[in-house]
Structure 1
Amino acid sequence: MHPYWIRINGHLGIGVTARSEADALQLLSQAFPSKRAISIEVINDMNDLDQNHVIPNLDAANWLRRGIWFPQGYEHIGTETG
């Protein structure tokens, strides 16, 4: 499992933990069917994320578990299938 940051048009980005890039893009399409990824990158250090918006809004999100951890409200995506 790897945490990914997916950039999309009109949004700060999507934080996803997935088995692969393809898996991360599948989770993106489940949560945001009309959005397309501009770029996707593995997050090697959480300090690389926006410290003024993303980090303070993680709350109790578990970025080590498969699923979407940013933005809030999509934590259930990916957890149904493990």
Structure 2
Amino acid sequence: MKSLTRYWFRFEKLPSASAVNLGCGVTAHGNEDALALLKERVFKKPTLPTILNWVADVDISKLDSKHVLPNLGNPVLRGVWFPQGFDG
């Protein structure tokens, strides 16, 4: 079984208000798996907005303490843990 990695993605700002403008947290079996989860669950299309940067093995404690940390899903399980609501 492949190990899981926590990723944090930052995108170019979306035109409409969205928690995604703060970033997206994903736990996946690698970069390709993380991108696939974002396409399937968050954006629901085969392309993603422009990725400004991404961090593998992100230290969750360093994320935004006012908006992101209080609203995390479970970063230990495979899936999208920020924003919540895209877990399947």
Normalising by structure 1, we get a TM-score of 0.79
1:18 aligns to 2:28 (yes or no): yes
Q: 1:41 aligns with which of 31, 45, 55?
A: 55
1:1-30 deviation line (CA, Å, top 9, x unaligned):
011001112211000000111111111111
Give RMSD over aligned pairs: 1.4
Q: Who is 2:81 aligned against? A: 69
Q: Which deviates more, 11-20 or 42-51? A: 42-51
| Aligned equivalents of 2:10, 2:58: Cα separation in 1 | 16
* Deviation for aligned residue 1:74: 0.5
| Aligned equivalents of 1:52, 1:46: Cα separation in 2 | 13
Structure ranking higher in helix proportion: 2
* Deviation for aligned residue 1:37: 2.2
| Count of paired positions | 74
Which amino acid counterpart does residue 62 of structure 1 have in structure 2? N
* Deviation for aligned residue 1:39: 1.7
Aligned-residue sequence identity (percent) comes to 42
* Deviation for aligned residue 1:51: 1.0
Structure 2: state its 5+ residue gaps. 14-20
1:3 aligns to 2:6 (yes or no): yes
- The answer on whether the counterparts of 1:17 and 1:64 sit within 8 Å (CA) in structure 2 is yes
- The answer on whether the counterparts of 1:29 and 1:35 sit within 8 Å (CA) in structure 2 is no
Q: 2:38 aligns with which of 19, 28, 33?
A: 28
